[in-house]
Amino acid sequence: MLKRAAVVYLRVSTAEQVENYSLDTQKRACIEYCEREGFEVDRIFREEGESAKTANRPQLQAMLNYCAKEAKRRSIVAAVVYRVDRLSRDALDYLVIRAALLRLGVQVHSATESFDDSPGGKLHEGLMAILAQFDNDVRAARTKAGMLEGLARGRWMWQAPLGYVKGDRDSPSLLRDPHLAPLVQFAFERVASGRMSRPEVLAEVTSLGLVTRRGKAMSPQSFGEMLSSPLYMGRIISPKLEFDGPGDFEALVSPELFESVQAVLEGRARNKESRHLDNPDFPLRRVVRCGRCGSPLTASWSRGRSGRYPYYRCYRKGCRGTSIRKERLEGLFVSHLEALSVRSEVFALLDAVVTDAWNDRLRESLAAEKRLVTCMRDLEAKVDRFVDALVAGKISQSIYDRQVVRLEKEQAQLKIQIEAAKPPEIDLAVTLVFAQNLLEDLPGCWNRLNWQQKRPFVWALYPQGLTYADGGIGTAQTPWLLTQIGAGSSSGNGLAPPTGFEPVFPP
């Protein structure tokens, strides 16, 4: 009996479908079809997580190249697919692929659709390809319409950028990330100042904890994209969807600051009204507040009979209740750091507490991710059941479209939740060593910092800032370091699970 061989091409669009056994469903149907039609399966090509909107797919190209080399020698006469739309959702691409296979003597066969090489069969096959494209175009149009409707309400429907976390239906679409938002703001301020290059700013904010969702350092390209994104000034701009409008979420930077950053990035002249708010001579400027009126202290050099003298002052009109020599104020601050430094013997207990808390957090993240992946597989199974029902004629096309669009929206939301649930990649041992070296000698760390790093250092320890009043310096809020682990001057030795170790900067 003359051998008739076939190649089998399988494809799914998403990685979730791969895990949900959709490929196995296609494979089983295609092999059963080959058995019924008397084809010997020569080779199976599996396309995992690739869209059919383009013909530039690895396994599709591999199948075409294989047929070009082996079709005649191995008697390959058929290319079997589960449905025509597995081969392509573009009618023109399908016809080109079909023609290329026909030139090699290979006929396209569908395991779930009936057509042959007769005139009527060719018409039916062409209609299947056109319907596949039509279905794809309808889905795209509905998706675009849904996106535009959401955008018109200010909703951000994609993954949250750095500095934000995803909100739910009853809240703004993006919420301020308490840990990363201040760092994003700080990066914009640094670049806008024009006193540091972009690589220098990136290195500084990376050292302070601005990393990607996966715990990796940002690349220069992604950092530049962040600085150029109007999303951070509360505006959604999508050239692809031809949309430009306000978001329903809080802006992290003002339009003026955003424009200043763009001017620096594009090499345009800086705003003449911009001023140097930071000064290497006065690292506590704008960090310490006046005890009388609450205004941030400024600083300057004053001229006296014997020379120039540095002072921190309150210049608020009607107040001016604070004027203190630089040496005095900064000496008071160093005394505060000495009291805040952590005793060496505390760290043995701290390691155990942090490790337990981190392991609990890791288990919770992995459990949440597992639950969400299970939900995703359930949704994929539902989609497959609707596909089977449509093929069997048990439901109409309109019911299928309505249900699949609903399920695809749920899948999109689940994908975002799965990504957010993944635990960060952190080397806990290295982090603990770094924390011990830092917290055992806070005054020494302060003295080793350059002037650009000192202000962020203060905000990390005192998120609410410091106040100078009645000859002393203090803070209205207990520093997180004291509340979490107890410092050298603290009489207590108790430890609490660390929940506030990430640096926090002012808005």
d(CA 240, CA 236): 12
pLDDT at 9: 93
3-state secondary structure of 160: coil
Q: Are 201 and 179 in contact (CB under 8 A)?
A: no
DSSP 323: E
Phi, psi of 471 (to 5 degrees): 75, 10
| pLDDT < 50 regions, the chain | 15-21, 269-275, 486-507
DSSP H helical ranges for 269-345: 326-340
Beta bridge partners of 312: 299, 324
Beta bridge partners of 324: 312
Q: How far apart are the first and last CA of the chain?
A: 80
For residue 210, CA distances in Å to 58, 183, 261 come to 36, 6, 18
Q: What is the value of pTM for the model shown?
A: 0.36
pLDDT tens sequence across 236-283: 877 766 777 888 888 888 888 888 888 888 876 444 444 455 677 888
For the domain bounded by 5-149, which CATH number is listed? 3.40.50.1390
Name the residue with tokens 């003295």.
447
Angle among Cα 262, 266, 271 to the nearest 5 degrees reads: 60
CB atoms closer than 10 angstroms to residue 75:
15
pLDDT at 5: 93
Long-range pairs, 95-103, Cβ under 8 A, ≥24: 95/126, 95/129, 96/55, 97/55, 97/60, 97/64, 98/125, 100/64, 101/64, 101/67
Name the residue with tokens 């599709």.
60
Phi, psi of 483 (to 5 degrees): -70, -25
pLDDT at 488: 41
164-265 CATH fold: Hect, E3 ligase catalytic domain fold (3.90.1750)
Q: Are 466 and 474 in contact (CB under 8 A)?
A: yes
pLDDT at 435: 72
- Least Cα distance to 424 among 474, 380, 383, 364 occurs for 364
Q: Do 5-149 and 164-265 show the same overall fold? A: no
Q: Are 459 and 350 in contact (CB under 8 A)?
A: no
pLDDT at 43: 92
- Element (DSSP H or E) covering residue 186: helix 181-193
Dump strand ranges (E) for 232-359: 235-238, 243-246, 288-290, 298-304, 307-313, 323-325
d(CA 428, CA 106): 57
Domain ranges of the chain: 5-149, 164-265, 361-421
Q: Are 67 and 104 in contact (CB under 8 A)?
A: yes
DSSP 357: H
pLDDT at 139: 62
| Distance from the Cα of residue 117 to its chain's centroid | 50
pLDDT at 21: 47
288-290 sheet: strands from edge to edge: 288-290, 466-469, 472-474
